[in-house]
Chain A
Amino acid sequence: MKQLFGYAGKVLRVNLTNKKILRQPLREDIIDNYIGCVGYAARVLWEELKPGIDPLGPQNKLIFATGPLTGTLCPASGSHEICTKSPLTGAWAEAHSGGFFGPKLKFSGFDFVILEGRAEKPVYLWVHDGEAEIRDAKELWGKTVHETTDVVLEEIGDPEASVACIGPAGEKLVRFAAVMNDKDRAAARCGPGAVMGSKKIKAVVTNGIQGISIAQPEEFYEAVTEAEEALKKNMPNVHTIIPLGTIGLVNIYNSQGALPTKYGYTGYFENAEKFSGETLANTFLVKRRACFGCTMGCGRYSEVKSGPWATPPHEGPEYETAAMLGSLCLHDNLEAIIRANYLCNSYGLDTISTGNAIAFAMECYDKGLLTIADTGGLELRWGDSATIINLIENIAKREGVGDLLAEGVRRAAAKIGKGAEELALHVKGLEMPAHEPRGEAKSTALLYATSPRGACHMHPYWTGSWDFNQWTGGLLELGLPWPAPDRFAETGVGKGLAVKLLMFHGVIQDITGVCRFPALGKEDDCITPKRYARMLSALTGREINQFELMKISERVLNLEKCFNVREGLTRKDDTLPKKMKEPIATGPTKGQAVTNLDGMLDEYYEACGWNKKTSIPTREKLEELGLKDVADELAGMAKTPKI
Chain B
Amino acid sequence: MKTLVVIPDRCVGCRRCELYCSFKFYKTHNPARSRIHVIRSEPYIDAPIICLQCGLCIGSCPSGAISRNAKTGAIVVNEEKCTGCGLCVSSCPIGMIRVDPVTHVAIKCDLCGGDPECVKGCPEEALQYIDAEKAAYYRKLAFAKLFEKAAVALKPFPR
Residue positions of A touching B, CB distance < 8 A: 71-73, 78, 107, 144, 146-147, 159, 183, 208-214, 217, 221, 228, 286-297, 299, 301, 303, 305-306, 310-314, 346
Contact = CB atoms under 8 A, between A and B. Distances in A.
B54 interface: no
In this complex, which of A211, A293, A299, A314 has the most chain B Cβ atoms within 10 angstroms of its Cβ? A211
A71 B29 contact: yes
Given A107-B31, A290-B14, A312 B26 contact: no
A289 B101 contact: no
Contacts of B155: 306, 310
A211 B153 contact: no
Contacts of B16: 73, 293-295
Given A289-B12, A290-B12, A314-B43, 20 more contacts: A73-B29, A107-B30, A107-B32, A144-B159, A147-B159, A209-B33, A210-B30, A211-B28, A211-B29, A212-B28, A213-B28, A214-B28, A287-B9, A287-B12, A287-B44, A294-B14, A294-B16, A297-B123, A301-B44, A311-B158
Interface of B: 9, 12-16, 19-20, 22-23, 26-33, 41-44, 46, 101, 121, 123-124, 151, 153-155, 157-159
A292 B159 contact: no
Interface hub of B22, B23, B154 (most chain A Cβ within 10 A): B23
A217 B101 contact: no
Given A73-B20, A297-B124, A313 B42 contact: yes
Contacts of A286: 43-44
B75 to A, nearest CB: 24
B33 A211 contact: yes
Given A209-B101, A211-B22, A310-B158, A293 B15 contact: yes
Nearest to B28: A211
Contact of B30 (A209, A290, A312, A314): A209
A478 B43 CA distance: 45
Contacts of B14: 78, 290-295, 297
17 contacts: A72-B29, A144-B159, A146-B159, A211-B26, A211-B30, A211-B32, A211-B33, A287-B44, A294-B123, A295-B14, A297-B123, A303-B43, A305-B154, A306-B155, A310-B158, A313-B42, A346-B159
Contacts of A303: 43, 151, 153
A80 to B, nearest CB: 16
A37 B146 CA distance: 42
A224 to B, nearest CB: 9
A290 B101 contact: no
A288 B22 CA distance: 25
A293 B29 CA distance: 11
A97 B43 CA distance: 21
Contacts of A209: 30, 32-33, 101
B27 A214 contact: yes
B124 A312 contact: no
A311 B43 CA distance: 12
Contacts of A288: 12
A344 to B, nearest CB: 14
Contacts of A297: 12, 14, 123-124
- Which of B27, B123, B159 gathers the greatest number of chain A CB atoms within 10 Å? B123
A343 to B, nearest CB: 9
Contacts of A107: 30-32
B44 A73 contact: no
A-B interface, 8 closest residue pairs, ranked by CB to CB distance from nearest: A211-B30, A209-B32, A211-B28, A290-B14, A313-B43, A295-B123, A290-B12, A312-B157
Contacts of B19: 72-73, 293
